[in-house]
């Protein structure tokens, strides 16, 4: 029976280790430890717990601790309260000011002459998700209590990273590499691109952007001045559909229609339409971003068609 219990414990330890390893942070997270607030009978313990937890978490290699002075300065500048701030809105504000991805705060409660309960709140400043850890024990054993609590906090941050931190958006380079990699066909015909420019105030970049993606995918791109006639012609038209602003932020919608056909036979391979919206600080930047977003989405659909 004892052997069976030991095997069960070993299995649980291996499972916990596996989960932790699978969720290790790829890059260190910036963590801010806010004041642990103590109730009337535990007021003297709040600052001690804050200091000890901060010191313990500093030893974690996957965490970057925000300097206490920097956090205090940010809080003072924003006229925040002195302690007990654990709401998701307040955590988000701290994250915006300091760059911290995770906020740790908590409470210390004294339930008897020498018994403490310490609760830590771990809040994602981007997601607003909240997790809690708790320890309790003798007040004269505060160092061990905070050490145990710090280990729990570090494990929670590691395991719950995807819930605490918003994933970084895929870069355009990675996005294009992914759609090119997902092309299963081996055919690479020569292609010409001709997109008509309708009425809009900014210079379009559709031909060049789509041509660049085709080249990256291994297609030969030719223009009207080339001696080599294309196997496939992509023709169409693009236009700005809307441009709105709110303060310094501009939002632009762009639409693009294309026809894909064989040059020699005139056989139409397909029609496609794409509309995309992008937001940026500046009209030209929003317009350009909307065009690029439109081209990328369109290319993801037509590349496999061209490679058949």
Q: What is the mean pLDDT of the chain?
A: 84
Separation in Å, CA 233 to CA 1, 193, 220, 224, 254: 75, 6, 12, 11, 22
CA distance 1 to 280: 66
pLDDT score of 220: 94
Query: What are the structural domain ranges in the chain?
Result: 25-164, 172-306
**How does DSSP assign 256-281, residue by residue?**
EEEEEEETTT--EEEEEEEEEEEEES
Please name which of 133, 122, 107, 214 lies closest in space to residue 163, comparing C-alpha atoms: 122
pLDDT score of 203: 63
Class of domain 25-164: alpha beta
The two domains 25-164 and 172-306 share their CATH topology (first three levels equal): yes
Contact criterion met (CB below 8 Å) for 124 and 156: no
Separation in Å, CA 220 to CA 16, 213, 215, 231, 260: 52, 11, 6, 10, 15
Average pLDDT for 134-145 = 94
Least confident of 18-22, 157-161, 211-215, 275-279: 18-22
Average pLDDT for 166-187 = 88
pLDDT score of 164: 94
CA distance 287 to 209: 14
Please name which of 47, 28, 29, 27 lies closest in space to residue 37, comparing C-alpha atoms: 47
pLDDT score of 199: 63
* pLDDT surpassing 70 at residue 82: no
Least confident of 45-49, 79-83, 125-129, 278-282: 79-83
Least confident of 31-35, 81-85, 158-162, 239-243: 81-85
Residues 91-107: tens digit of each pLDDT:
888 888 888 999 999 99
Higher model confidence: residue 142 or residue 89?
Answer: 142
CB-based contacts of 96: which residues, under 8 Å, 6+ apart? Answer: 125
* pLDDT surpassing 80 at residue 305: yes
As a whole number of Å, the CA-based R_g of the chain is: 29
pLDDT score of 16: 44
Separation in Å, CA 123 to CA 47, 59, 93, 182: 20, 20, 12, 37
Residues 188-206: tens digit of each pLDDT:
999 999 988 776 666 666 7
Contact criterion met (CB below 8 Å) for 232 and 302: no
What CATH homologous superfamily does 172-306 map to?
Answer: ABC-type transport auxiliary lipoprotein component (3.40.50.10610)
**How does DSSP assign 108-157, residue by residue?**
EEEEETTEEEEEEEEEETTT--EEEEEEEEEGGGHHHHHHHHHHHHHHHH
Q: Which residues of 59-81 are buried (b: 16+ CB within 10 A; e: fewer)?
A: ebeebbbbeeeebeebbeeeebe
* pLDDT surpassing 50 at residue 15: no
């Amino acid at each position: 029976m004892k052997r069976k219990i030991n095997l069960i414990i070993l299995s649980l330890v291996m499972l916990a280790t596996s989960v932790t390893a699978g969720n290790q942070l790829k890059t260190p997270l910036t963590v801010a430890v806010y004041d642990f607030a103590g109730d009337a009978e535990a007021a003297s313990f709040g600052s001690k717990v804050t200091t000890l937890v901060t010191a313990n978490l500093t030893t974690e290699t996957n965490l970057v601790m925000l300097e206490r002075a920097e956090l205090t300065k940010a809080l003072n500048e924003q006229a925040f309260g002195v302690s007990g701030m654990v709401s998701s809105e307040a955590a988000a504000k701290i994250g915006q000011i300091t760059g911290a991805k995770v906020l740790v705060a908590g409470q210390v409660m004294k339930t008897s002459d020498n018994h403490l309960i310490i609760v830590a709140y771990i809040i994602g400043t981007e997601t607003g998700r909240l997790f809690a850890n708790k320890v309790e024990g003798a007040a004269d054993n505060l160092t061990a209590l905070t050490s145990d609590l710090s280990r729990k906090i570090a494990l929670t941050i590691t395991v719950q990273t995807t819930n605490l931190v918003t994933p970084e958006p895929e870069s355009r380079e990675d996005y294009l590499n992914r759609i090119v990699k997902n092309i299963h066909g081996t055919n690479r015909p020569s292609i010409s691109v001709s997109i008509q420019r309708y009425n809009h105030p900014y210079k379009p970049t559709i031909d060049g952007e789509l041509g660049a993606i085709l080249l990256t995918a291994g297609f030969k791109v030719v223009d009207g001045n080339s001696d080599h006639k294309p196997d496939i012609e992509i023709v169409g038209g693009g236009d700005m559909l809307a441009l709105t602003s709110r303060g310094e932020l501009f939002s632009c919608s762009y639409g693009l229609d294309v026809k894909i056909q064989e040059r020699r036979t005139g056989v139409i391979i397909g029609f496609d339409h794409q509309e995309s919206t992008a937001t940026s600080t500046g009209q030209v930047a929003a317009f350009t971003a909307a065009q690029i977003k439109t081209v990328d989405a369109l290319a993801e659909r037509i590349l496999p068609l061209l490679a058949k």
